[in-house]
Amino acid sequence: MAEKHLLEIKNLTIHYQTDYGTVHAVEGFNLEVGNGETLGLVGETGAGKTTTAFGIMQLLPEPAGKVVAGEIYFRGENLLGKSKTEMKKILGKQIAMIFQDPMTSLNPVMTVGAQIEEMIKLHEPGTKEEIKEKAKKMLEVVGIPAVRQDEYPHQFSGGMKQRVVIAIALSCNPMLLIADEPTTALDVTIQAQVLDLMKKLKDDFKTSMIMITHDLGVVAEICDKVAIMYGGKVVEYATKESLYTKPYHPYTVGLFNSIPDLDSEQDRLNVIDGLPPDPTDMPSGCSFHPRCPHKMPICSQKSPSKVVVGSEHHVYCYLYEQEGAL
Amino acid sequence: MNEKIIEVKELKKHFKTKSGMLHAVDGVNFFINRGETLGLVGESGCGKSTTGRVLLRLIQANSGEVLFHNENILEYSKPDMKKMRKNMQIVFQDPYSCLNPRLTVSEIIAEPLIINKVYKTKDELETRIDELIGRVGLSERLKTSYPHELDGGRRQRVGIARALALNPEFLVLDEPVSALDVCIQAQILNLLKDLQKELGLTYLFIAHNLSVVKHISDRIAVMYLGQIIELTDYKSIFKDPLHPYTQALLSAIPIPKLGVQKERLILRGDVPSPINPAEGCRFAGRCDYSKQNCFEETPKLIESEPGRWVACHYVRQLEQN
Amino acid sequence: MLKYFARRILMLIPVILGVAFIVFFLLYITPGDPARIILGDQATEESVLQLREEMGLNDPFFVRFGKYAYNLVVNQDVGKSYVTKRPVWDEIMTVFPATLKLAGSSILLALLIGIPIGIISAIKQYSIFDNVTMLFALIGISMPVFWLGLLLILLFSVKLGWLPSSGYTTLNAMILPAVALGAQSIAIITRMTRSSMLEVIRMDYIRMARSKGQDENKVVFKHALGNALIPIITIAGLQFGRLLGGAVLTESIFSIPGIGRLMVESIKMRDFPVVQGGVLFVAISFSLVNLLVDLLYAYVDPRIKSQYK
Amino acid sequence: MNTVKQKKNKKKSIWLDVWRRLRKNKMAVGGLVIIILLFLTAIFADWIAPYSYESQDLLNMFQTPSFEHWFGTDEFGRDIFSRIVYGSRISLEVGFIAVGISLIIGGSIGAIAGYYGGRLENLLMRCMDVLLAIPEILLAIAIVAALGPSIANLMIAVGISSIPGYARLVRASVMSIREQEFIEAARAAGSSDFRIIVKHILPNCMAPIIVQATIGVAIAILTAAGLSFIGLGIQPPTPEWGSMLSGGRSYIRDYPHMTLFPGIAMMVTILALNLLGDGLRDALDPKLKN
Q: What mean pLDDT comes out for the span D18-36?
A: 88
pLDDT score for D1: 32
Q: Which domain holds residue D46?
A: 41-288
pLDDT score for C76: 78
Burial of C132 (0-12, 13-18, 19+ CB in 10 A): exposed
Q: How many domains does chain B have?
A: 1
Residue B142 placed within a domain:
no
pLDDT score for C12: 87
C-alpha torsion sign, points B174, B176, B177, B180: positive
pLDDT score for D9: 43
pLDDT score for D289: 37
CB contact B304 to A (< 8 Å): no
User: Furthest-apart CA pair in chain A: how many Å?
Assistant: 67
- Say yes or no for a CB contact (<8 Å) between D186 and B115: yes
- Given a contact cutoff of 8 angstroms between Cβ atoms, the answer to whether B226 and B23 are in contact is yes
Helix H or strand E encompassing B11? strand B4-17
**Residues contacting A185, CB < 8 A, separation 6+:** A100, A101, A102, A103, A158, A162
**Residues contacting B245, CB < 8 A, separation 6+:** B222, B224, B229, B230, B283, B286, B287
pLDDT score for C128: 92
pLDDT score for B1: 52
**Residues contacting D25, CB < 8 A, separation 6+:** D279, D282, D283
Q: Pick D186's closest partner by Cβ from B86, B111, B148.
A: B111
pLDDT, tens digit (0-9, with 9 covering 90-100), for C178-218? 998 999 999 999 999 999 999 898 889 999 999 999 988 89
> Pairing between strand B88-91 and B302-305?
unpaired
pLDDT, tens digit (0-9, with 9 covering 90-100), for A93-139? 999 999 988 889 999 999 999 999 999 999 988 899 999 999 999 99
- Helices within D148-256 (DSSP H only): 151-161, 163-178, 181-188, 193-195, 202-229, 241-249
What percentage of chain D has pLDDT greater than the value 70?
93
CB contact D59 to C (< 8 Å): no
pLDDT score for B89: 94
pLDDT score for D11: 43
In a 3-state reduction of DSSP, which class is residue A102?
coil
What percentage of chain C has pLDDT greater than the value 70?
100
Nearest of D205, D206, D208, D221 to residue D273 by alpha carbon: D221
Q: How far is residue C127 from each of residues A61, C123, D145, measured CA to CA in Å?
A: 16, 9, 48
Q: Residue C247 above 60 pLDDT?
A: yes
Q: Which domain holds residue B61?
A: 4-87+168-271
Quickly list DSSP for B165-218. Answer: TT--SEEEEESTTTTS-HHHHHHHHHHHHHHHHHHT-EEEEEES-HHHHHTT-S
CA distance, residue C257 to nearest chain A CA (Å): 44
- Given a contact cutoff of 8 angstroms between Cβ atoms, the answer to whether A251 and A230 are in contact is yes
C-alpha torsion sign, points D250, D254, D258, D263: positive
CA gap C121, C127 in Å, rounded: 8
- Given a contact cutoff of 8 angstroms between Cβ atoms, the answer to whether B157 and B142 are in contact is no
pLDDT score for A323: 58
Highest mean pLDDT among A63-72, B1-10, C111-120, D65-74: C111-120
For an interface test with C, which of D25, D26, D134, D244 has the most C Cβ atoms less than 10 Å from its Cβ? D134
Quickly list DSSP for A242-256. Answer: HHHH---SHHHHHHH
Q: Residue D18: pLDDT band by 50, 70, 90 thresholds?
A: confident
pLDDT, tens digit (0-9, with 9 covering 90-100), for B266-296? 888 888 888 888 888 889 888 888 888 888 8
Nearest of C247, C236, C228 to residue C181 by alpha carbon: C247
- Say yes or no for a CB contact (<8 Å) between A193 and B183: no
Q: Residue A315: pLDDT band by 50, 70, 90 thresholds?
A: very high
- Given a contact cutoff of 8 angstroms between Cβ atoms, the answer to whether A210 and A217 are in contact is no
CB contact A120 to C (< 8 Å): no
pLDDT score for D288: 43
pLDDT score for D83: 87
Residue B52 placed within a domain:
yes
pLDDT score for B261: 63
Residue D146 placed within a domain:
yes
CB contact B58 to A (< 8 Å): no
Q: Pick D230's closest partner by Cβ from C26, C142, C249.
A: C249
Rg (CA), chain A: 21
Q: Residue D77 above 80 pLDDT?
A: no
What stretches of B84-130 adopt beta strand conformation (E)? 88-91
Give the angle subtended at the CA of B294 by the CAs of B293 and B295, to the nearest 5°. 85
Q: What mean pLDDT comes out for the span D152-172?
A: 91
Nearest of B310, B313, B321, B319 to residue B240 by alpha carbon: B310
Residue B277 placed within a domain:
no
- Say yes or no for a CB contact (<8 Å) between D218 and C153: no
Q: How many domains does chain D have?
A: 1
Question: The domain that contains B21 carries what CATH number?
Answer: 3.40.50.300
Q: Residue D132 above 90 pLDDT?
A: no
CA distance, residue C228 to nearest chain A CA (Å): 10
- Say yes or no for a CB contact (<8 Å) between D181 and B141: no
Residue D97 placed within a domain:
yes
Higher pLDDT, C248 or B31: B31
Helix H or strand E encompassing D28? helix D26-43
Every domain of chain C and the residues it spans = 2-74, 89-308
Question: The domain that contains D218 carries what CATH number?
Answer: 1.10.3720.10
Residue D101 placed within a domain:
yes
Q: Pick B90's closest partner by Cβ from D14, D180, D188.
A: D188
- Say yes or no for a CB contact (<8 Å) between B267 and A192: yes
> Pairing between strand A7-18 and A65-74?
antiparallel
Q: Residue B119: pLDDT band by 50, 70, 90 thresholds?
A: confident
Q: What mean pLDDT comes out for the span C20-35?
A: 84
ipTM value of the model? 0.83
Q: For B228, list phi and psi in degrees, rounded to 5.
A: -85, 125
Residues of chain B found within 8 Å of residue D9, distances taken between Cβ atoms: 144
CB contact D136 to C (< 8 Å): yes
Higher pLDDT, D247 or B247: B247
Residues of chain D found within 8 Å of residue C19, distances taken between Cβ atoms: 130, 133-134
Higher pLDDT, B266 or B165: B165
Q: For D159, list phi and psi in degrees, rounded to 5.
A: -65, -50
- Given a contact cutoff of 8 angstroms between Cβ atoms, the answer to whether C196 and A80 are in contact is no
pLDDT, tens digit (0-9, with 9 covering 90-100), for C59-96? 888 888 888 888 888 877 778 888 888 888 888 899 98
Would you mind telling me the total number of residues written for chain D in this entry? 290
- Say yes or no for a CB contact (<8 Å) between B58 and D188: yes
CB contact D263 to C (< 8 Å): yes
Residue D34 placed within a domain:
no
Q: Residue D287: pLDDT band by 50, 70, 90 thresholds?
A: low
> Pairing between strand B219-224 and A65-74?
unpaired
**Residues contacting C276, CB < 8 A, separation 6+:** C20, C23, C24, C27, C68, C78, C79, C88
What stretches of chain A adopt beta strand conformation (E)? 7-18, 21-33, 38-42, 65-74, 77-78, 95-98, 176-180, 208-213, 225-230, 233-239, 306-310, 313-316
Higher pLDDT, D93 or D17: D93
Superfamily name with CATH number, domain C89-308: MetI-like (1.10.3720.10)
- Given a contact cutoff of 8 angstroms between Cβ atoms, the answer to whether A216 and A240 are in contact is no
Give the angle subtended at the CA of D279 by the CAs of D277 and D280, to the nearest 5°. 65
CA gap B184, B162 in Å, rounded: 19
> Pairing between strand B63-68 and B37-41?
unpaired
- Say yes or no for a CB contact (<8 Å) between B141 and D190: no
Helix/strand/coil (H/E/C) assignment for every residue in chain C: CHHHHHHHHHHHHHHHHHHHHHHHHHHHHCCCCHHHHHHCCCCCHHHHHHHHHHHCCCCCHHHHHHHHHHHHHHHCCCCECCCCCCEHHHHHHHHHHHHHHHHHHHHHHHHHHHHHHHHHHHHCCCCHHHHHHHHHHHHHHHCCHHHHHHHHHHHHHHHCCCCCCCCCCCHHHHHHHHHHHHHHHHHHHHHHHHHHHHHHHCCHHHHHHHHCCCCHHHHHHHHHHHHHHHHHHHHHHHHHHHHHHHHHHHHHHCCCCCHHHHHHHHHHCCCHHHHHHHHHHHHHHHHHHHHHHHHHHHHHCHHHHCCCC
In a 3-state reduction of DSSP, which class is residue A225?
strand
Q: Residue B162 above 90 pLDDT?
A: yes
pLDDT score for B262: 62
Q: Residue D8 above 70 pLDDT?
A: no
CB contact D50 to C (< 8 Å): no
Residue B45 placed within a domain:
yes
- Given a contact cutoff of 8 angstroms between Cβ atoms, the answer to whether C72 and C12 are in contact is no
Residue D4 placed within a domain:
no
pLDDT score for B41: 94
Q: How far is residue C263 from each of residues A164, B245, C91, C269, C284, measured CA to CA in Å?
A: 58, 71, 11, 10, 16
- DSSP structure class, residue B2: -
pLDDT, tens digit (0-9, with 9 covering 90-100), for A182-237? 988 888 888 889 999 999 998 898 899 999 999 998 999 899 999 999 989 999 99
End-to-end CA gap in chain A: 30
Higher pLDDT, A325 or C5: C5
**Average pLDDT of chain D to the nearest whole number:** 84
Q: How far is residue D34 from each of residues A283, B98, D29, D71, D215, measured CA to CA in Å?
A: 46, 40, 9, 19, 15
Q: Residue B72 above 60 pLDDT?
A: yes
Residue D2 placed within a domain:
no
- Say yes or no for a CB contact (<8 Å) between A220 and B44: no
pLDDT score for C44: 80
Q: Residue D74 above 80 pLDDT?
A: no
pLDDT, tens digit (0-9, with 9 covering 90-100), for A22-62? 888 998 899 999 998 999 999 988 888 999 999 999 988 87
Q: What mean pLDDT comes out for the span B32-48?
A: 91
CB contact D87 to C (< 8 Å): no
Helix, strand, coil: what percent of chain B each, to 5? 35, 25, 40
pLDDT, tens digit (0-9, with 9 covering 90-100), for D242-259? 888 888 888 878 888 888
Residues of chain B found within 8 Å of residue D117, distances taken between Cβ atoms: none
Give the angle subtended at the CA of A202 by the CAs of A196 and A203, to the nearest 5°. 95
Residue D30 placed within a domain:
no
**Average pLDDT of chain C to the nearest whole number:** 86
Burial of C197 (0-12, 13-18, 19+ CB in 10 A): buried
Q: Pick D229's closest partner by Cβ from C142, C249, C263.
A: C249
Higher pLDDT, C107 or B278: C107
Nearest of A159, A139, A161, A157 to residue A148 by alpha carbon: A139
> Pairing between strand A313-316 and A233-239?
antiparallel
